[in-house]
Amino acid sequence: MCKDKQLDPVPVLASLPQDVTFKITSLLQVRDLCALGCCSRFCRDLCFSDCIWESLVRTRWPLLALAPSSSSSSSSSTSATSPNPKKWRKFYFERHVELGLRARTVEMFLKACSPSESLEVGDYLKAVDTLVGLRFGFEDIQRYLFNPKMNVLINLVGLHYCLSSLGIRGENLLEVLRTCEISDRRVVVKWWKLGRWLHGYRMRDEFHSRWVSLADLATQDDGNVLGVLRRGTIHEVLRVQISAVGHTTTSWSYQLTHRLQ
């Protein structure tokens, strides 16, 4: 008996209708797509086609204000507009590299703002706003900010962005945190609230403190803490302090402070 021969995928793909081949290739991971594109001229034309990479761009960065590929754009920024025709693949890899560099910038910014192991709340929110402005995707957060070797406060910034901007479902986010081995990492959140008025006298300022894990925040098990992190120091909240607790590779202690004027 002759041995079964391994089926060559190239002629099989070539024999299928074009819409079917595009559907199959669009389901591949980027690494596999690039590898398949090196197999033959047919695979190269298929895997490196603009419609495939346009779909990958829109899937990875759903918050980008991308114009349809047939329309032109007058903006010179590649971070918020669609690329020129026939350049979706180039756009994908350039943005992939750019966001990696920007994530590193956010990390260095947080370190630079805490020379005495304290960080103003304005700087913390500025780091979150940087992610918002650049329209990071969920894959970028996992790749660049959910690293267990980083300080937990950097993980927290990424988690904050996922909850406030990407709207990732709690169970999906929790699964990713566990995969990245950061779900059990904890922070202690302390905040001071303006004392209430009673019979014409203002009571003493109220102090609150919570120890919470990233998993708790992801599943919103402690909505009070999550609300404090989202609102920051507004109205009656005078001060917010966040410190890393255990399982960290650095000695950072973040203190986010802002007083009402």
At 103-156, the pLDDT tens digits run: 999 999 988 887 766 677 778 788 999 999 999 999 999 999 999 999 888 999
With the CA atoms of 130, 154, 230 and 176 taken in that order, what torsion angle do they form, in degrees rounded to the nearest 10?
100
Share of the chain above pLDDT 70, in %: 70
Q: What is the pLDDT of residues 19-30, one digit of tens each?
A: 777 777 777 888
Confidence of residue 6 (pLDDT cuts 50, 70, 90): low
> pTM to 2 decimals?
0.77
What are the chain's domains? 12-93 (1.20.1280), 99-245 (no CATH)
CB-CB contact of 102 with 134 (8 Å): yes
The pLDDT value given to residue 76: 41
The pLDDT value given to residue 93: 93
46 contacts: CB under 8 Å, gap ≥ 6 = 13, 21, 22, 25, 37, 52
Indicate whether 13 pLDDT > 80. Answer: no
Helix (H) or strand (E) holding 79: none
The pLDDT value given to residue 77: 45
What is the rounded CA–CA span in Å between residue 160 and residue 213? 13
Give the chain's radius of gyration (CA, Å): 24
28 contacts: CB under 8 Å, gap ≥ 6 = 36, 47
Strands 186-193 vs 197-198: parallel, antiparallel or unpaired: unpaired
The pLDDT value given to residue 204: 73
Strands 206-213 vs 186-193: parallel, antiparallel or unpaired: antiparallel
The pLDDT value given to residue 261: 34
**Would you put residue 167 in left (φ > 0), alpha (ψ -120 to 50) or beta?**
left
The pLDDT value given to residue 110: 84
Give buried/exposed letters for 68-98 (b at 16+ CB in 10 A, else e): ebeeebeeeebbbbbbeeebbbebbeebbee
3-state secondary structure of 10: helix
Indicate whether 179 pLDDT > 80. Answer: yes
Helix (H) or strand (E) holding 202: strand 201-202
The candidate with the shortest Cα–Cα distance to 173, out of 151, 192, 146, is 146
Q: Which range among 42-46, 54-58, 200-204, 249-253 shows the weakest confidence by mean pLDDT?
A: 249-253
CB-CB contact of 249 with 110 (8 Å): no
Average pLDDT, the chain: 77
Indicate whether 164 pLDDT > 60. Answer: yes
